Amino acid sequence: MSTPLVQLRGIRKAFGGIKAVDDVSINLHPGEVVALLGHNGAGKSTLMKMLAGAYPVDSGDVIVAGQQVHIRTPAEAQALGIETIYQTLALADNLDSVANLFLGREKLTPWRTLDDDFMEVQARKVFQRLNRNFTNIRVPVRRLSGGQRQVVAIARALYFNARILIMDEPCAALGPEETAMVGSLVRQLKADGVGIFLITHDMPDVFGLSDRLAVMKNGRLVGTYATADVTEDQVLGMIIAGKRPEAIAETARSAG
Amino acid sequence: MSDDAVPLWRRTGVDLRLLLMCVLLAALAVGFHVLSGGLFLTPENLYNVAQQTAVVGIVSTVMVLIIVARHIDLSVGSVMGFIGVLVAYLQYTSGWSWPAACLAGLAVALVVSIYQGWLVASLGVPSFVVTLGGLMSFRGAAFLVADGKTQPVNDAFFQRLGGGYDGGIGTTWTWLLAAVIAVVLVLRMLQRRRARAFHGMPNRPLWLESVLVAVPIVAVFAFAAVMNDYRIGDKPQAQGLPIPVLLWAAVAVVLSFLVHRTRFGRYVFAMGGNPDAAALVGIPVKRVTLMLFALLAVLVTIAAIVSIARLNAGTNSLGTGMELYVIAAAVIGGTALAGGSGSIFGSVLGALIMQSLDSGMLLLDVSIGKRMVIIGQVLIVAVVFDVLYRRRVGDN
């Protein structure tokens, strides 16, 4: 097996006295989808926000493509090829889709001004790829439908060539057609060798898309298993009771 | 939604709200002109209104950005008073040349503003609280600089910066400036069209863009003609554009450029639209906030210089209550106090509307008390209109 794209080793994070993430270790390989499961407040989002640079890590090692890294800001995470699609989508509602796609990474002209034409042309291409009906890209995103807003958020990951993609509940606000679109996109990115962390509550997504699943409860990792080895009931048992299924080998795939 | 479904006025890219405000301003002017028996729309009155609005207008342009970024600055009047007295004191009592005094004033303004900006950006203290403290403290500082004594400024060139007798740029320069603006507007339109065609993007019809460029050009020339028609007393030459108005226009152009063409402006709007998203996508929120407060310092200094040059003195009461006019101009100009939306040109119109109301009522001999009551209520009407307008257009 190749070097993991991401190795998280003994990651801890506390807010005040509360251990939000407590000694969690997970690997992610190229072309692999790892589903992160657990109740609200289990620590999945916090763990991913540390990888995305939104929160600093209290202790533990983050190793990206074999290199130990210290990710302090979202910009540093982006520089490592880590893209995040947040549950909230992280869109500035008052700006248009083009501005949101490039937000924080604007293309500048040689005179250090915004290269709006270039950005509009590029944006149109990416949006077309995701949804051919999405043409009103110059209106503030607050006027867009839930699916279109999602397209803008996903387009960021696509345009900036994510190596590692974190998707936090990507289908929570979507209709069936758009959910299918996200599903096919995940498979396509997987085929391109992108590693994906998928945070979700939706069992069909877990079994339809993921290669492995990791369950968290109260900040701790319950276990990591190959999705094919476990049943839905066993997964629910882990999420709700924190009970590991018996006689099934964990697949941490920690070996390099 | 295809492009055909969009109403024509929206496809033109004209901001309906700004258009309405232009109409309101024109209606006010005509209304006061009729009621006052032909006193309002005279070169003298328009010259004075433009020049009196400049100080509030200059600070309003940047107040728009502060409010867009979900902050507020209540200390601008006090800081302007402090810097004004300081610049006057350095010239009169310390005997500095006016450029040196102005630069020193700018340096102190930067320190003050970055101190307040740092409390807001790094420590997360609400800007309302920080600048409310500043409102008191810097008024006190304005008193301390010269121990409350008025500091006259006598330099003839410096006094021109405030407008006044020799404070116009003259007819030749005014016409020239108007011509340059016209040429720039036309060239910019052509360059935009070429760039869009180059990128394979559709252009709007040429006649439409020509109209959209012709209207401001006509307005600029009309304004230049009026300014060139005004003579103070029996002075032989006409005034032309007053220097404070020139500075205000330059400031507005520079800030509009920052808003539309630079990262800084885009980040300010993104931070106002969704602060969490701004941080998550990697915008350096603290740095942008500090830069914003630094920009405020620069403009407050310019306003302070214009004020003392206009009054020919720096006094410790300079700019008292100005923060309210500045914020009101921004709000009347369509800046949402919730952050995320506002325009520089709107603040220009907002400041002009307020000053026109005030001057117009003065011409009609309305007492100071009644004027204050009315202007206060106009501010409320502006906010109510803002709320209703956004609800209707669907921008909440």
Q: Which residue of chain B is at minimal alpha-carbon distance from A95? A: B270
DSSP string, B61-107: HHHHHHHHTT---S-HHHHHHHHHHHHHHHHHTS---HHHHHHHHHH
Residue contact A106–B196, C-beta within 8 A: no
Q: Is A142 on the interface with B (CB under 8 A)?
A: yes
Contacts of A134 in chain B (CB under 8 A): none
Nearest CA among A67, A81, A73, A41 for reference residue A55: A73
Touching B: A residues 102-121, CB under 8 Å:
103-106, 108, 112-114, 117-118, 120-121
Tokens 């003259």 appear where? B170
H or E, element range at A85: strand A82-85
Residues 30-69 of B with CB under 8 A from A: none
d(CA A254, nearest CA chain B) in Å: 30
Q: Cβ A88–B201 below 8 Å, yes or no?
A: no
Cβ–Cβ contact A90 with B under 8 A? yes
With contacts defined as CB-CB under 8 Å, which chain B residues touch A114?
A: 260-263, 266
A92 closest CB neighbour out of B201, B262, B270: B270
Give the pLDDT confidence score for residue A146 in this predicted structure: 85
For strand A6-15 and strand A18-28, is the pairing parallel, antiparallel, or unpaired? antiparallel
CA pair distance B361, B367, nearest whole angstrom: 8
Tell me if chain A has a CB within 8 Å of the CB of B200: yes
Residues of B in contact with A52 (CB under 8 A): 280
Distance from CA of B373 to the nearest CA of A (A): 34
- Nearest residue on chain A to B197, judged by CA atoms? A117
- Asked whether A34 and A198 are in contact (CB, 8 A), the reply is yes
The Cα–Cα gap between A123 and A98 comes to 6
Judge whether B81 and B316 are in contact, CB under 8 Å.
Answer: yes
Are A75 and B282 inside 8 Å of each other by CB? yes
**Residue stretches of chain A with pLDDT short of 50:** 254-256
Which positions of chain B have pLDDT values less than 70?
Answer: 1-13, 394-396
Q: Are strands A164-168 and B151-152 parallel, antiparallel or unpaired?
A: unpaired
What's the whole-model pTM score? 0.93
Is residue A251 classed as helix, strand or coil in its secondary structure? coil
| Residue contact B195–A117, C-beta within 8 A | yes
Q: Does A84 touch chain B (CB under 8 A)?
A: yes
ipTM, two decimals: 0.91
Give the torsion sign (CA, A58, A64, A67, A72). negative
Closest among B34, B118, B134, B47 to B82, alpha carbons compared: B134
Contact B195 A84 (CB under 8 A): no
Chain A with chain B: Cβ pairs closer than 8 A: 94
Q: Determine the pLDDT at residue B10.
A: 62
Q: What is the pLDDT of residue A171?
A: 79
Q: Are A169 and A6 in contact (CB under 8 A)?
A: no
Please indicate whether, in this complex, the C-beta atoms of A92 and B201 are within 8 angstroms of each other: no
- On whether any CB of chain A is under 8 Å from the CB of B343, the answer is no
CATH code of B15-168+242-393, in short, is 1.10.3470
CB-based contact (8 Å) between B1 and chain A? Answer: yes
Q: Of the candidates A254, A195, A201, which has an alpha carbon nearest to the alpha carbon of residue A224?
A: A254
For residues A80 and A73, what is the distance between their CA atoms, to the nearest angstrom?
11
CA atoms within 13 A on the CB side of B10: 9
Q: Is B97 an 8 Å CB contact of chain A? A: no
Interface of B with A in 227-286 (CB under 8 A): 260-263, 266-267, 269-270, 272-274, 276-284
CB contact under 8 A, A113 and B279: no
